[in-house]
Amino acid sequence: MLALDDTIAAISTPIGEGGIGIVRLTGPDAKAILQKVFMPASRQDLNGFAPASHRFYYGHVVDSETLSTVDEVLAVHMRAPRTYTRQDVAEIHCHGGIVALRRTLELVLRHGARIAEPGEFTLRAFLNGRIDLAQAEAVLDIVRAKTEAGLRLAVQQLDGHISGPVRTIRSLLVDGLAYLEASLDFPEDEIPQLDLAAVLERAKEQLAALLAQANQGLIYRQGVRTAIVGRPNVGKSSLLNALLRTSRAIVTPIPGTTRDTLEETLNLRGIPLCLVDTAGITNSSDLIERLGIERSQQALRQADLALLVLDGSESLQTEDLEIADLAGNRAVIVVVNKSDLPTVTDGSTILPEHPHVHVSALTGDGLHLLENTIVETIFSGEIQTSDVPAISSPRHCEILRRALDQVIAAQNSYVQHGAADLVAVDVTAAANALGEITGETVSEDVLQTIFSNFCIGK
């Protein structure tokens, strides 16, 4: 692990032109380094500046070697432990230009700081006990949230909505483990009785309740990859534009206008819907068109949901049936387009077990029904609402499933054998697994993997 007794620094705002850019420091020398590079407007030199904690000062970043002014800034020192990392923190709020920020960072590094690793500020917050590991992961989810619903889940996790239930379950298991170990270590003593079967059943029910919300949480966090497929000229690009409420894809009466995949993200009732407009799937001798068709087929294979678009103003063709065969092994909505024209086919014979929606991408008729059908299909016809927090992390889902399996194994051992040592093995494994969510039993490798996904400066 990285050392906690040095001072780290990084640019904590996106690189580029902007109103403000922030250079952030944390560590034991944060205040001393700030004093060496910042000169408040009320002073004429760098000596003797003693900033009060959590107070902004107006002044300039000055290169002490050349006495040249780098930028006009605001600076603040925050004394531990009332900081993000529970160490001393200093921030220099510069103008948001690349050169000014880099010059300021270079000065800070010259005076003893080192460049922070990705996520190292949040890692220190975790290691110093300000937040647990689930809350630390929520910080990254907040930064990456694509919709209001995704942001809401991340904020709930940061507030401890995941950590609280996990700790409750783990506490149940630890109590059960303490009883088992006492029974093993002091078999002749009178041990206060504990209904271990009830404890394990309660832990199982609570783990199952958390996992029941996992699919919905993952959907709001990761989104749903949705391929719009069909033969040429059925209105796939028009449907994409209609759903996005903007002209994103080129639309012409010429079949095969789209020759490559085009991706856009739509916020549909809080769900990040990654729409992939594909080239029409057909037999073609044109090399470029064939490459586009291959990409369309690949997009379909990778999709969580397919919108199979038919032309309702024309009779069904062999290509429609062939594409339906390709799409039929996943969630599919059959979209019968061009309802503004006289109907020739209603598409009911294609994938009759899947939802069918009639729309006009030209007039917008039926789009609201299509959006409702997409949401219902994603959630298998039922949008869950519960006081149980929605698990939105694949890592947490895997851990909860593992813990549930261990609890069930402990129940089986208890019923079949009643041997405390066998039951204790499974209960210990379940408790340790849950500790990986909050960070109580997490390994160094897992920490490095998690925080390597953070940007530098967070």
Looking at per-residue confidence, does 213 or 123 come out higher? 123
What number is the average pLDDT over the span 324-349? 88
* CATH code of the domain in which 103 resides: 3.30.1360.120
Query: Which of 105, 131, 157 is at the close of a domain?
Result: 131
Residue 295 has what pLDDT?
Answer: 66
* CATH code of the domain in which 206 resides: 1.20.120.430
Q: Do 162 and 127 have their domain in common?
A: no
Mean pLDDT of the chain: 85
456: pLDDT strictly greater than 60: yes
Q: Do 88 and 148 have their domain in common?
A: no
Q: Name the pTM for this structure.
A: 0.76
Q: Do 329 and 355 have their domain in common?
A: yes
Q: Do 146 and 74 have their domain in common?
A: no
What are the pLDDT digits (tens) for 248-302? 444 445 444 444 457 888 888 888 888 888 765 555 545 444 555 566 667 777 7
Residue 435 has what pLDDT?
Answer: 94
pLDDT band per the 50, 70, 90 thresholds, residue 388? low
Residue 254 has what pLDDT?
Answer: 45
Q: Do 112 and 163 have their domain in common?
A: no
With respect to residue 448, please indicate whether it lies within any of the assigned structural domains: no
Domain span at residue 56? 8-131
With respect to residue 218, please indicate whether it lies within any of the assigned structural domains: no
What are the pLDDT digits (tens) for 364-387? 999 999 999 999 888 874 444 445
With respect to residue 219, please indicate whether it lies within any of the assigned structural domains: no
Rg (CA), the chain: 29
Q: Do 126 and 257 have their domain in common?
A: no
Number of domains in the chain: 3
With respect to residue 199, please indicate whether it lies within any of the assigned structural domains: yes
Residue 247 has what pLDDT?
Answer: 64
With respect to residue 449, please indicate whether it lies within any of the assigned structural domains: no
CA 438 to CA 163: how far, in whole Å? 6
CA 108 to CA 9: how far, in whole Å? 7
Query: Which of 131, 162, 187 is at the close of a domain?
Result: 131
* CATH code of the domain in which 259 resides: 3.40.50.300
Regarding beta strands 68-78 and 55-63, do their DSSP bridges make them parallel or antiparallel, or are they unpaired? antiparallel
